[in-house]
């Protein structure tokens, strides 16, 4: 026994730095996730900000959902309009399991509850997957849309499983825990969400390297050749759909743990749309893209909507700008910098970037001013937040603020055009150099 | 018999309204492969434009001007937006139209307010045309039927008798070949997108006062239009026409037929009680789910016949 | 390297967003978090409520507020999503607001009740009261009743009873059509129960449920209703499901009385239009013609003032009752401590600005007050949304008639 430990300890110690080098990103992400809430800690009252924790938890659970969605869209090339049904049904299964555990029907620690959601998602994924994976491309998208509408309608109609409009509410404080934690505070739940987000993300990451994950990519890229190689693309789609159901179910389970209720909204089309938007904005082509996209989408939904009722308009504009100028999403933009980074000359872009920043800000500011003015003039200051600059309230019926907004927009646009040309020149030059050095561009 | 006749008429009117919306989308989806989420927004814009125009110069000019405005908007969207996004793939195009739908909704809210606007049936058409068994058939419904039939005729003639129509028809099935033959495919795309948007606008003009003109009308009308298009099959206007009528009639007649799966099982001697598993689902009468039937049909047809009803190629 | 840069950017974005999220408020006010849809296709719901609430609060604050403090409404857009409502709740408790208010959707109400219960049990030093201004599922004050939840609108069962009591003698055949979810199913069940109890002479000739928001053409339903020989159509439908139903009925020229629960809300009058003259009725807590009808000039002037400021009608007299209740309870408790306010609110009685008395019942925290049935017609003093038609009171149901028993077993906090 003692000899055993002495022999492995140095080995493990030697291996640790290597592990650290390879997986530092994961570790950094976990440390970061656990550190951010302390930025919002209310020291005067000695408590965490429930708002920040809930929003971060939302990011965590939605990113699991978005990543599971991307198992279909990014990896298998299947666009699903009804992915939320797996998320929501996983949530319903979790809620029923949690209630049963609370009632003492069986012992199940809260830490393992997400598995119940995952299994629920897996089972429903297999059932629905059997039907929907018969087709691919647009037909697949349309079948999932129809299915999504049907399940969402059923969730309202049938009280037994779905609990009707009020949904199924639960209590996560079941008193059953592996570590003796109560999970009564948002902080404890947040830690659980972080843990499961990491586990699910790692598993999904590993899945991309399995033969199934590789074949999913193959059938996305060349559907016919996959068949020639001897695989049945239908079965690849089916397994992939079922597995993504498992992870969507985990996301749903985390939703239940955070909010302690699951309602029909979790299966509705709006949730599916959120995943699609997150995956696309972040970049469906890379594994971590949906994660970044989720951060952006949740901050827009829960952050910007607190400031402006026109947030949906900004979301719309953001999408249009993204699809027109950055089709690869955030990760796509990052990836384009790679050759330059490899040359170690990223620093040379700092000045051009700094120079397009002010016109960019001016452009955005002008646009936001105009939208907010229009909103104030027509719908009115519903949110009690009249537009004010430096404490000076702005009257939307006065021509001056409009003129200033328009001027900012036009000036920003013209200035931006000029700076963009400068930026472009620098960028092209660097790219040429990268090409000359034989780096993949 | 009384119920049957009235239901038939109602089903036809609703089906033709669906067709007006769906025909434009069929052209766009078949040719350009764009799942145009902003199509129902064009329907809404048509209604709002018509409301404003009819307040100033009357309903009849609005019937012409509002769809033209929508078509113009569609042409601009295609030329300055979609064409650029096209090379980024179909999902990018879809998201582009999705973003557009969000923007249009907010702009409509900012222009016309959050509440419904009083867009009414013109006085000249606001009378009961005839009455069957005591139920009046409003003249406006007959007018809707007339307009949609005229439109169907016009599209059909346009596609089969004009040069551009023939090119469009060819592009529906063999877009690459048409390009190879030297036709200006981008211009054809713009034409089709503008025409499709204009048709949605026209549907809005005559559907807006028949239903209620409010900012949520695009949101609620969206999914059903996709169902009709895909059910009818890509590349086939006739399929779209049949699918629209089918959807209209199915939903109408489902309301009238008061049966549930439990009734069917009773024919086979199985009595469903509250102890039967899934009794909640089995005892649902048809009228309760009538409006959901299109989605069920959509799934079924795509699973068994991915080309849709009369599609010329796989969805 | 790039990725770490990205994560740093993400933190920055989060920090910026959350700084925005916590705007600073004037000190010394009594804050009420208000959450309803304020954006998206159903933005009108929250928007119309918010404008009326602000109008009322301006009035109450100019008359002294409570304990010398002013009320302040802090709106949160919940986009009709329970999860967003719960994030709003967290935001409210972070800032120690004593109240959270929500009007639209029993799904969100159920989520809020559960969350408030748990929050108050887990954080006894930072409690919050949930003011329900319009989520009407009867369960919320029966099985799900909570000490921290106060409902200031009649519940479904009460509205159903009002509807049945308002049916005139000559109506003997009615048709029921409702939306297929908890609310519509409750309306269906309760209306039938009260017909059996109060009006055994009435025959229910048809009973229909429709999927929520999916039906685009109601003409076939009208055909069916016509064939059934019904004289009145009783419905709890709201939004497009109600507007399209009534429009289809009017278009077909069917001789029907429509009894609704929501036709009087913002947008209803325009959607129904002049064709609804004398046909549409609505179960309502208030209409602008009540004041002139009972000769209350002060109340009339006050609601008229609202019309001069906003392009729609004032229908939310109930909100004024809410804020007056809150002010009275805070004054009675002498504190803004939620537990004390909640205790002070129980069995509190209040005379509203029309002169009717209402009471917050201690047993289940359901307000008990009079209710009205209005008919939409021409020739009223105040018309609705410039249609030339408005709501005239057809029946006034006194509070004692709808004081229904409750099954609530209220659990009060020990401390």
Minimal CA separation from A228 to chain C, in Å: 38
pLDDT digit of tens for each residue in chain C (415 aa)?
A: 344 444 444 444 444 444 444 333 445 889 999 999 888 777 888 888 888 998 999 999 998 888 888 999 988 888 888 888 988 998 899 888 999 999 988 888 988 998 999 899 888 888 999 999 988 888 889 888 999 999 999 999 999 999 999 999 999 999 999 988 888 888 999 999 999 999 999 999 988 888 887 888 888 888 888 888 899 999 999 888 898 899 888 888 888 999 999 998 888 888 888 888 999 999 998 888 988 888 888 888 888 888 888 877 888 888 999 999 999 999 999 888 999 999 999 999 988 888 899 999 999 999 999 999 999 999 888 888 888 899 999 999 999 888 899 998 888 887 5
Confirm if B302 and B294 have CB atoms less than 8 A apart. no
* Residue contact A295–C139, C-beta within 8 A: no
* Residue contact A374–B296, C-beta within 8 A: no
ipTM: 0.83
SS3 C385: coil
Residues 48-107 of B with CB under 8 A from C: 105
- Nearest residue of B to residue A316 by CA position? B99
* Domain at C27-154+295-369, CATH class: alpha beta
Chain B residues with CB under 8 Å of A153 CB are 289, 292
Integer Cα distance of B128 and B134 in angstroms: 11
* Residue contact C244–B211, C-beta within 8 A: yes
For the stretch B228-247, pLDDT in tens is 988 888 778 888 899 999 98
CA end-to-end span of chain B: 39
Residue A316: which of B92, B103, B234 has the nearest Cβ?
Answer: B103
* Residue contact A319–B110, C-beta within 8 A: no
E strands in A233-286: 261-262
C-alpha R_g of chain C: 22
Residues 276-315 of C with CB under 8 A from B: 311-312
* Residue contact B299–A131, C-beta within 8 A: yes
Among 3.20.20.80, 2.60.40.10, 3.30.420.40, 3.40.50.2300, name the CATH number for the domain at C157-284+371-401: 3.40.50.2300
pLDDT computed for residue C157 by the predictor: 92
How far, in Å, are C60, C235, C313, C323, C393 from residue C319 at the CA level?
11, 24, 14, 6, 20
* Residue contact B135–C215, C-beta within 8 A: no
A225 C-beta neighbours (distance < 10 Å), count: 11
> Which domains can be identified in chain A, with CATH numbers?
21-327 (1.10.3470), 337-436 (no CATH)
Neighbours of chain C (3+ CB pairs under 8 A): A, B
Integer Cα distance of B291 and A154 in angstroms: 12
Minimal CA separation from C170 to chain A, in Å: 34
Chain A residues with CB under 8 Å of C84 CB are 301-302, 305
Write the DSSP string, C201-240. T-EEEEEEEE-TTT----HHHHHHHHHHT-SEEEE---TH
Asked if the domains at C27-154+295-369 and C157-284+371-401 fall in one CATH topology, the answer is yes
* Residue contact C14–A36, C-beta within 8 A: yes
Residues 201-240 of B with CB under 8 A from C: 210-212, 214-221, 224
Contact B179/C at CB under 8 A: no
Mutate to test the interface with A, among C32, C45, C111, C141 (most CBs of A within 10 A): C111
Confirm if A71 and C47 have CB atoms less than 8 A apart. no
- Residue appearing with tokens 């069920």: B296
Chain B residues with CB under 8 Å of C270 CB are 115-118
* Alpha-carbon dihedral sign for residues A285, A289, A290, A296: negative
> pLDDT over 70 for what percent of chain B?
97
C120 C-beta neighbours (distance < 10 Å), count: 22
Confirm if A221 and A239 have CB atoms less than 8 A apart. no
Contact C44/B at CB under 8 A: yes
Q: Where are the alpha helices (DSSP H) in chain B?
A: 2-32, 39-56, 59-77, 83-85, 90-112, 139-161, 163-173, 175-180, 185-208, 217-232, 237-256, 261-267, 279-282, 286-289, 293-304
For the stretch A52-86, pLDDT in tens is 898 899 999 999 999 999 999 888 888 899 999 99
Q: Count Cβ–Cβ pairs < 8 Å, chain B vs chain C.
A: 128
**CA angle in degrees (0–180, nearest 5) for A147-B231-A85:** 10
DSSP 8-state code for residue C69: B
Integer Cα distance of C117 and C365 in angstroms: 14
Give me the phi and psi of A345, to 5 degrees please.
-120, 25
Residue C253: which of B136, B219, B291 has the nearest Cβ?
Answer: B136
How far, in Å, are A334, A405, B153, B225, C383 from residue A357 at the CA level?
17, 18, 55, 43, 54
Neighbours of chain B (3+ CB pairs under 8 A): A, C
* Residue contact B302–A139, C-beta within 8 A: yes
Please state the domain extents for chain C.
27-154+295-369, 157-284+371-401
Low-confidence ranges of chain A (pLDDT < 50): 1-8, 382, 384
Residue B299: which of A146, A157, A269 has the nearest Cβ?
Answer: A146
Mutate to test the interface with B, among C184, C209, C215, C219 (most CBs of B within 10 A): C219
């Amino acid at each position: 026994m003692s000899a055993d430990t002495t022999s492995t300890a140095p080995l493990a110690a030697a291996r640790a730095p290597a592990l650290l080098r390879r997986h530092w990103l994961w570790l950094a992400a976990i440390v970061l996730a656990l550190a951010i809430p302390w930025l919002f800690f209310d020291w005067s009252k000695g408590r965490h900000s429930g708002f920040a924790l809930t929003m971060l938890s939302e990011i965590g659970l939605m990113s699991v959902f978005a990543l599971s969605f991307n198992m279909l869209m990014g990896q298998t090339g299947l666009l699903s309009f009804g992915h939320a049904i797996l998320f929501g049904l996983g949530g319903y299964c979790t809620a029923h399991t949690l209630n049963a555990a609370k009632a003492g029907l069986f012992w199940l620690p809260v830490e393992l509850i997400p598995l119940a959601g995952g299994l629920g998602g897996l089972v429903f994924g297999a059932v629905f997957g059997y039907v929907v994976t018969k087709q691919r491309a647009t037909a697949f998208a349309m079948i999932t849309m129809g299915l999504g509408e049907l399940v969402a309608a059923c969730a309202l109609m049938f009280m037994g499983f779905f609990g009707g409009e009020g949904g199924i509410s639960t209590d996560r404080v079941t008193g059953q825990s592996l570590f003796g934690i109560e999970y009564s505070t948002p902080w404890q739940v947040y830690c659980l969400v972080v843990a499961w987000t990491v586990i699910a993300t790692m598993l999904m990451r590993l899945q991309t390297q399995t033969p199934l994950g590789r074949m999913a990519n193959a059938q996305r890229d060349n559907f016919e050749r996959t068949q020639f190689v001897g695989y049945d693309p239908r079965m690849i789609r089916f397994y992939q759909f079922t597995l993504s159901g498992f992870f969507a179910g985990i996301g749903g389970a985390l939703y239940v743990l955070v909010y302690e209720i699951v309602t029909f909204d979790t299966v509705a089309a709006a949730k599916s749309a959120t995943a699609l938007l997150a995956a696309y904005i972040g970049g469906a082509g890379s594994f971590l893209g949906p994660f970044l996209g989720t951060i952006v989408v949740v901050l827009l939904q829960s952050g910007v909507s607190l400031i402006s009722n026109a947030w949906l308009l900004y979301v719309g504009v953001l999408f249009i700008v993204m699809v027109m100028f950055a089709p690869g999403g955030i990760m796509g933009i990052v990836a384009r910098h790679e050759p330059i980074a490899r040359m170690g000359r990223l620093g040379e872009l700092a000045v051009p970037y700094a120079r397009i920043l002010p016109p960019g800000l001016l452009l955005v500011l002008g646009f936001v001013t105009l939208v907010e003015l229009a909103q104030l003039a027509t719908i009115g200051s519903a949110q009690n937040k009249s537009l004010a600059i430096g404490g000076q309230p702005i009257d939307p019926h006065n021509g001056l603020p409009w003129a200033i907004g328009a001027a900012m927009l036009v000036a920003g646009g013209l200035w931006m055009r000029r700076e963009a040309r400068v930026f472009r020149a620098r960028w092209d030059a660097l790219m040429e150099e990268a090409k000359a050095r034989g780096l993949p561009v | 018999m009384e119920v049957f006749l009235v239901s038939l008429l109602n089903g036809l009117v609703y089906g033709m309204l669906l067709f007006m919306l769906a025909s434009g989308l069929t052209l766009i989806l078949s040719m350009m492969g764009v799942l145009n989420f902003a199509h129902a927004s064009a329907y809404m814009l048509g209604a709002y434009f018509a409301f404003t125009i009819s307040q100033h110069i009357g309903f009849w000019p609005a019937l012409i001007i509002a769809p033209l405005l929508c078509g113009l908007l569609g042409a601009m969207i295609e030329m300055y937006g979609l064409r650029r996004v096209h090379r980024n793939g179909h999902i990018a195009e879809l998201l582009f139209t999705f973003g557009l739908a969000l923007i249009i909704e907010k702009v409509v809210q900012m222009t016309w307010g959050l509440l419904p606007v009083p867009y009414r049936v013109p006085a000249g058409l606001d009378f009961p045309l005839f009455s069957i068994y005591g139920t009046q058939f409003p003249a406006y419904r007959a007018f809707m039927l007339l307009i949609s039939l005229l439109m169907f005729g016009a599209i059909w003639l346009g596609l089969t008798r004009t040069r551009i129509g023939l090119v469009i028809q060819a592009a529906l099935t063999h877009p690459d070949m048409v390009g190879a033959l030297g036709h200006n495919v981008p211009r054809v795309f713009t034409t089709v997108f503008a025409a499709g948007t204009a048709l949605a606008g026209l549907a809005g003009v005559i559907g807006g006062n028949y239903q209620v003109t409010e900012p949520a009308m695009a949101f609620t009308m969206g999914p059903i239009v996709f169902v009709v298009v895909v059910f009818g099959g890509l590349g086939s206007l006739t399929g779209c026409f049949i699918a629209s009528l089918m959807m209209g009639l199915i939903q109408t007649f489902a309301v009238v037929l008061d049966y549930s799966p439990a009734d069917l099982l009773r024919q086979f001697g199985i009595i469903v009680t509250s102890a039967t598993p899934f009794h909640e689902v089995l005892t649902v009468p048809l009228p309760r789910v009538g409006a959901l039937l299109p989605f069920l049909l959509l799934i079924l047809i795509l699973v068994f016949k991915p080309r849709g009803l009369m599609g010329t190629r796989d969805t | 390297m790039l990725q770490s840069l990205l994560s740093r950017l993400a933190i920055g974005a989060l920090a910026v967003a959350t700084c925005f999220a916590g705007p600073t408020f004037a000190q010394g006010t009594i804050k009420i978090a208000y959450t309803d849809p304020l954006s998206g296709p159903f933005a009108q719901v929250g928007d119309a409520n918010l404008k009326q609430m602000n109008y009322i609060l301006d009035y109450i604050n100019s008359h002294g507020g409570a304990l010398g403090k002013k009320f302040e409404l802090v709106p949160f857009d919940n986009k009709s999503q329970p999860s967003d409502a719960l994030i709003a709740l967290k935001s409210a408790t972070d800032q120690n607001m004593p109240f959270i208010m929500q009007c639209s959707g029993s799904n969100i109400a159920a989520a809020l009740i559960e969350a408030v219960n748990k929050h108050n049990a887990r954080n006894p030093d930072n409690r919050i009261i949930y003011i329900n201004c319009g989520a009407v599922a009867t369960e919320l004050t029966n099985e799900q009743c909570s000490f921290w939840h106060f409902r200031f609108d009649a519940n479904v069962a009460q509205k159903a009873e009002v509807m049945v009591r308002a049916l005139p003698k000559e109506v003997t055949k009615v048709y029921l059509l409702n939306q297929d979810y908890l609310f519509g199913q409750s309306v269906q069940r309760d209306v039938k129960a009260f017909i059996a109890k109060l009006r055994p002479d009435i025959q229910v000739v048809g009973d229909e449920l429709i999927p929520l928001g999916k039906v685009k053409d109601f003409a076939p339903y009208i055909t069916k209703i016509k064939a059934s020989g019904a004289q009145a159509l009783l419905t709890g439908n709201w939004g497009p499901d109600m507007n399209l139903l009534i429009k289809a009925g009017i278009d077909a020229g069917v001789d029907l009385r429509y009894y609704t629960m929501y036709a009087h809300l913002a947008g209803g009058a325009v959607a129904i239009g002049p064709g609804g003259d004398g046909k549409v009725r609505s179960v309502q807590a208030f209409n602008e013609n009540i004041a002139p009808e009972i000769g209350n000039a002060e109340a009339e002037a006050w609601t008229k003032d609202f019309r001069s400021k906003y392009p729609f009608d004032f229908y939310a007299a109930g909100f004024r009752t809410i804020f007056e209740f809150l002010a009275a309870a805070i004054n009675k408790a002498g504190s803004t401590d939620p537990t004390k306010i909640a205790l002070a609110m129980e069995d509190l009685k209040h005379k509203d600005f029309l002169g009717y008395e209402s009471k917050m019942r201690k047993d289940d925290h359901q307000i008990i007050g009079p209710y009205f049935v209005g008919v939409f017609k021409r020739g009223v003093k105040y018309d609705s949304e410039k249609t030339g038609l408005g709501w005239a009171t057809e029946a006034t149901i006194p509070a004692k008639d709808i004081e229904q028993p409750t099954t609530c077993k209220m659990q009060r906090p020990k401390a």
